[in-house]
Structure 1
Amino acid sequence: MDGVVELPMKAGTNMKFAGKTVLIFVLLSITMVVTLAGSNILSMTVGDSSVLTCLIKGQISMITWTITPKAGDPCTLVYRIDTNMTHRGNCSDNINLTFRAGQDPALEIQQVGIAQEGIYLCEAASTDGNFRKMYNLTVLAPPRLSLRCDEQGSPVCEAAAGKPPAQLSWVPESSSTAEEKHHDNGTVTVVSKFTACSTNVTNVTTCMVSHPAGNWSQSIACRSSEKNSFFLHVGIITCVLIIITLLAAICYFKLHSDRPCHKTKPPEIAPIHSQQDDTMEVEPYTTYVQKENVIYNSVSDLTVGQNLPQDLCPET
């Protein structure tokens, strides 16, 4: 009996909770719609220029632009007709009021950057009343595409510094998941490594980048890790065979050489002779030659004396 009573009570509690949740969701949706009802969503790409206008009826007396960026301090530009002067407060140099003949002052943004992203509110006072217009500016940053082969021979695609994050896909299809790296300026780098879904995959792979600022693609051909390892093994085996062949040749020539190998002795240093020693060695030879010459002369004189005629012989 107690169990029958508790079931309707729990169901009623769940219904009340669900009703409160739906009510909160509806209120948040209405608040968002009211906030964005008077604003124009504007999208620009980094480096582009644009002119924001504020529709005004009657004779304008003052116009104020208030810029609330997503990051940083707000900026204000105030123009008064009576003084014909513009007051700038904390605004960058690429944001200015422009004045054209026959047109109300407009806000010009030159070469927009990510720092200019935010809410732009125009408030004007004229003879017909006060007017208000709001822009919600979104700045797009196209990513920088790069495609390379890693150490394992797998293609790696990178879409750097994109805003919002780029979407990466592969041709042929890949089963890999992309990794995101968020930067302080609001941009995101997306990296994806190709992983084949099947074994029948060609060497050429294509990375495709999808982004609100545009679409890009790039192809590359990488050698697979299996091929790289095969060539590496072949190279190692070849080097080993060359070394073994050289060692075998050296041993063969050593065993069959006619001249045995001897250790090389250091060269002997010749003794140093002085000039006096050389003179002493030469003097005995000189004396001997002189004696030989004396003997030879004596013998020659005797021989000549014996062979001469008597009338020519010298007197004793």
Structure 2
Amino acid sequence: MGSSQQAGWWKKPTSPTNTRATLEVVRKITYTLVLLAITAVTGATGNNSVSVTVGNSSVLTCPSKPSVMMVTWKISPKVGGRCTLGYRADTNETNRTNCSDSMNWKLTPERDPALEIRQVGIAHEGNYTCEVVATEGNFHKTYNLIVLAPSKLIRHCDLHSRPVCEPLAGKPAAQVLWVLENNSTPKEEVHDNGTVTVLSKFTAHSSNVTNTTCIVSHPAGNQSKSIACHPSKNSFILPVSIITGVLSIITVMAVIYYFKLHRDRLCHKTKAPETAPTHSPQDDTMEVEPYTTYVQKENVIYNSVSDLTTEQNLPQGLSPAT
């Protein structure tokens, strides 16, 4: 009996293989529980990402409950202020605050509290939360609305005859690929409204490549267009333009210098020779006459004064000789 009791409580030690198998089962169970918890949380909060292209319409739904007492849409765009749409079942009233006309109930709140956004624009991007109050409890669902703006693809050849692919104003930024191997790095320009313009120049290992294809990858749609550049015609435009400009400047300066030189020669030929001014005796007489007249007057005055002085000095009864 003692042997049987000992056999009953004694167990065979667990092998390392069984231990690993047990740990693997525990790991899988734990992983499954984590996934279930994440799913439960996501389902409770109702976080969803919705993408819509510019110009299209989008419909966001609310949790469907049989006895709804109140529904409220809370909208928080990335740009601009918040707005709300509300409905009360007891008074059958709706209200809106700071919401544009492009956002409204899809049908009627009592029938379907879904929100419809018509003609979606970049300004509509943001978070949209629907809160429902029902007899069963409170429920809410949140959407992250992502607005996609397709790029307008422009292709051309630069001054060095390199193919250029330029997707304009896309959201998000477009990805540019070339059919042939390319060495260049695309450049991005971010605009104020959140769109991005990408500029990609094709640079091949061989300079003989003139034809290639540009492939633009974008969530709103992919595009591909071929580009053909001709180095024999385009590569000489810049040098020829520079040479032509320099020759034009030289020609204009030469013409100006020629006319200036020719004008100076004409002026020297037509200019009258300078002659010495003639001096006549009459001029000398005219110049001397004022001085002579002045001297004569001075002499007359002097003689008169002398006579008067002499007359005063003579004795009484004598008069000066005439």
Looking at structure 1, the residues matched to 41 and 191 of structure 2 have their Cα atoms a distance apart, in angstroms, of 32
The percent identity for this pair of structures is 57
Match of 1:194 among 202, 209, 217: 202
Note the 1:1-316 alignment, pairs <5 A.
Answer: 38-99=46-107, 103-201=111-209, 203-224=210-231, 228-229=235-236
Root-mean-square deviation (CA, aligned residues, Å) is 3.4
Looking at structure 1, the residues matched to 66 and 234 of structure 2 have their Cα atoms a distance apart, in angstroms, of 78
* Maintained 8 Å contact 1:56/1:126: no
Offset of residue 198 of structure 1: 2.7
**Aligned partner of 1:113: which letter?**
G
Offset of residue 82 of structure 1: 2.6
| Paired positions, count | 213
> Deviations along 1:79-123, whole A, 9 cap, x unmatched?
112332221111121110122598422100111111111111000
Task: Tell me which residue corresponds to 2:264.
Answer: none
**Aligned partner of 2:230: which letter?**
R
Looking at structure 2, the residues matched to 207 and 40 of structure 1 have their Cα atoms a distance apart, in angstroms, of 34
Offset of residue 232 of structure 1: 6.8
**Aligned partner of 1:95: which letter?**
M
Task: Tell me which residue corresponds to 1:312.
Answer: none
Q: 1:191 to 1:98 in 2, by over 3 A?
A: same
* Maintained 8 Å contact 2:215/2:224: yes
Q: 1:232 to 1:136 in 2, by over 3 A?
A: closer
Q: 1:102 to 1:71 in 2, by over 3 A?
A: closer
**Aligned partner of 1:219: which letter?**
S
Offset of residue 57 of structure 1: 2.0
Looking at structure 1, the residues matched to 237 and 51 of structure 2 have their Cα atoms a distance apart, in angstroms, of 52
* Maintained 8 Å contact 1:56/1:131: no
Residue aligned with 1:115, SS: helix
For normalisation by structure 1, the TM-score amounts to: 0.59
**Aligned partner of 1:208: which letter?**
I
Q: 1:68 to 1:132 in 2, by over 3 A?
A: same
**Aligned partner of 2:124: which letter?**
Q
Looking at structure 2, the residues matched to 200 and 153 of structure 1 have their Cα atoms a distance apart, in angstroms, of 11
* Maintained 8 Å contact 1:121/1:133: yes
Task: Tell me which residue corresponds to 1:305.
Answer: none
**Aligned partner of 1:191: which letter?**
L
Task: Tell me which residue corresponds to 1:266.
Answer: none
Q: 1:189 to 1:231 in 2, by over 3 A?
A: closer
Residue aligned with 2:104, SS: strand
Looking at structure 2, the residues matched to 69 and 44 of structure 1 have their Cα atoms a distance apart, in angstroms, of 15
Q: 1:225 to 1:191 in 2, by over 3 A?
A: farther
Looking at structure 1, the residues matched to 237 and 49 of structure 2 have their Cα atoms a distance apart, in angstroms, of 57
Looking at structure 1, the residues matched to 208 and 125 of structure 2 have their Cα atoms a distance apart, in angstroms, of 47
Any gaps of 5 or more consecutive residues in structure 2? 1-36, 248-322
Task: Tell me which residue corresponds to 1:289.
Answer: none
Offset of residue 38 of structure 1: 2.7
Residue aligned with 1:158, SS: strand
For normalisation by structure 2, the TM-score amounts to: 0.58
**Aligned partner of 1:132: which letter?**
H
Looking at structure 2, the residues matched to 225 and 81 of structure 1 have their Cα atoms a distance apart, in angstroms, of 76
* Maintained 8 Å contact 2:159/2:238: no
Q: 1:129 to 1:151 in 2, by over 3 A?
A: same
Looking at structure 1, the residues matched to 86 and 110 of structure 2 have their Cα atoms a distance apart, in angstroms, of 20
Q: 1:230 to 1:82 in 2, by over 3 A?
A: closer
Looking at structure 2, the residues matched to 115 and 102 of structure 1 have their Cα atoms a distance apart, in angstroms, of 28
